[in-house]
Amino acid sequence: MAVAETDEAEFAALKSEIAEWVAGPGERWAEKIEETGEVPAELFDELKGNGWLSLAAPVELGGRGIPFSRYLELLEIISKSHGSIRMLVHVINGTWRAMAPYASRELIEEVVKPSVAGDKLVAFTLTEPDNGTGADIQTTVRSEGDEYVMNGVKHLITFGVKADYLLIAARLEGTKGNDGTVAFAMPNRLPGAVVIDDSDTMGVRGTDHAILEFHDTRVPAKYRLGEEGQGLEVALGGFLLPSRVSVAMSAVGLAERAQELAIAYANERETFGKKLAERQAIQFYLAENYAHIAAAKALIIQAARAYENDAPDASALSSAAKMVAVEMLAQVTDNALQVHGGRGYWKKHPIERVYRDARAQRFEEGTNEIQKLVVARAALTGLASTEGSLTW
């Protein structure tokens, strides 16, 4: 698929535009989301109108064709805003990657292009309550003529309540392992499907989450992505691999926001005749934060380049980047909250929201325990060599 060349002057202007919005209107929207627990339709329309929901998709799908590693620079800035704003931009700029290579022309027109345009919302639908997110998925389908009959349960499905379509993985009845998996880009709320709102979360308030139940739900075969047996290929390689790198960069953006808040407070707050910023203990917190952020960002950029170049260690690097970045975010936000002292625990201070939002990224696109398994497997099979990965 064609990718538009990056005009550096235009790109710099776009970064400035996003940064100004995040610091101004974005903060006001964040306050409104926290007050209401909802993402207003007007905010979605604003993000769509700004063109920020179609940054990464190729031009023939209606996107701006910004290369993945450069798109991450924009996501880094957006991630300084509210978690639900970041989630919208991140997911909508990513689901097309899984669908487009496997979609029929009909699905490209019905689902993929409208998703890129922000006219239709697609929810990534993989996780199940009693299984993991890989070859052990148990939601089943059986083929009956020109339809599949689906049964099972999915949960923790971001945008599952409001989504128009589900990017979903299931397995053929009676199969085990990767070979029996099937992916669909199917309409939400087909007959026999039950959508349960499960949106009351600790952080990332305003983003809806759903439990989805399927009871002999008939899915027209035209909504299948790729062939039978390619379900996990669509879900894991098409979406999860680049999404893990994106989540890692969003952790950098949120950590940078926490650091900014800590520095501002340290320069403002005075105790016993001295600014907090003059105290060595506080300086150490800020120095640690700077180093941790810089180190994580370097690994993320390397992972992004490996993905762009289809390098053999791209999967290992994506998991390593996510693993390192979310641990970094936990440390940075904890340090930043400590700089604020007791005041930071109150909701009137932005660091309180940042601290809550940060916790979600510990399990988004797979926990660190899962990432470690991916990296270890690659290391043991020779697919994770730092010597081959590093760019000097």
Residue pair 187/223 in contact by the 8 Å Cβ criterion: yes
pLDDT at 391 over 70: no
Indicate the DSSP class of residue 206: B
pLDDT at 1 over 50: no
Q: Alpha helices, DSSP H only, in the chain?
A: 8-23, 25-36, 41-50, 68-78, 83-92, 95-99, 105-107, 113-117, 231-232, 241-268, 280-308, 314-340, 350-360, 368-380, 386-389
Q: Please compute the mean of the pLDDT values over residues 358-377 and round it to a whole number.
A: 89
CATH architecture of 122-228: Beta Barrel (2.40)
pLDDT of the residue at 3? 42
pLDDT of the residue at 54? 97
pLDDT of the residue at 385? 58
Q: Please compute the mean of the pLDDT values over residues 357-370 and round it to a whole number.
A: 88
Indicate the DSSP class of residue 94: T
Q: How confident is the model at residue 203 (pLDDT cuts 50, 70, 90)?
A: confident
3-state secondary structure of 215: strand
pLDDT at 190 over 90: yes
Q: Express each pLDDT in 220-244 by its tens digit.
A: 999 999 999 999 999 887 788 999 9
Q: At what angle do helices 68-78 and 280-308 cross, to 10 degrees?
A: 150
Q: Please compute the mean of the pLDDT values over residues 181-205 and round it to a whole number.
A: 95
Q: How confident is the model at residue 132 (pLDDT cuts 50, 70, 90)?
A: low
Greatest alpha-carbon pair distance for the chain in Å reads 79
Residue pair 181/230 in contact by the 8 Å Cβ criterion: yes
Q: Which amino acid is at 160?
A: G
Q: Express each pLDDT in 27-41 by its tens digit.
A: 999 999 999 999 999
pLDDT of the residue at 266? 98
Annotated catalytic residue, options 5, 256, 365, 369: 365
pLDDT of the residue at 386? 55
pLDDT at 348 over 70: yes
Q: Please compute the mean of the pLDDT values over residues 341-367 and round it to a whole number.
A: 92
Asked about 109 being catalytic, the answer comes back as no
Q: Express each pLDDT in 286-303 by its tens digit.
A: 999 999 999 999 999 999
pLDDT of the residue at 133? 64
Q: How confident is the model at residue 130 (pLDDT cuts 50, 70, 90)?
A: confident
- Alpha-carbon distance of 302 to 305, in angstroms, equals 5
CATH architecture of 232-389: Up-down Bundle (1.20)
Q: Express each pLDDT in 267-289 by its tens digit.
A: 999 999 999 999 999 999 999 99
Q: Express each pLDDT in 67-103 by its tens digit.
A: 999 999 999 999 999 999 999 999 999 999 999 999 9
Q: Please compute the mean of the pLDDT values over residues 8-16 and round it to a whole number.
A: 96
pLDDT of the residue at 201? 87
DSSP lists the bridge partners of residue 141 as: 150, 172
Residue pair 183/234 in contact by the 8 Å Cβ criterion: yes
Q: Please compute the mean of the pLDDT values over residues 56-60 and round it to a whole number.
A: 97
pLDDT at 392 over 70: no
- CATH class (in words) of the domain with range 8-117: mainly alpha
Residue pair 262/340 in contact by the 8 Å Cβ criterion: yes
- In the chain, where the domains are located: 8-117, 122-228, 232-389
Pairing outcome for strands 147-158 and 209-220: antiparallel
pLDDT of the residue at 134? 74
pLDDT of the residue at 136? 86
> Whole-number mean pLDDT of the chain?
93
In terms of Cβ atoms closer than 10 Å to its own Cβ (0-12, 13-18, 19+), residue 315 is buried
Q: How confident is the model at residue 5 (pLDDT cuts 50, 70, 90)?
A: low
Nearest to 361 by CA among 32, 75, 18: 75
pLDDT of the residue at 240? 85
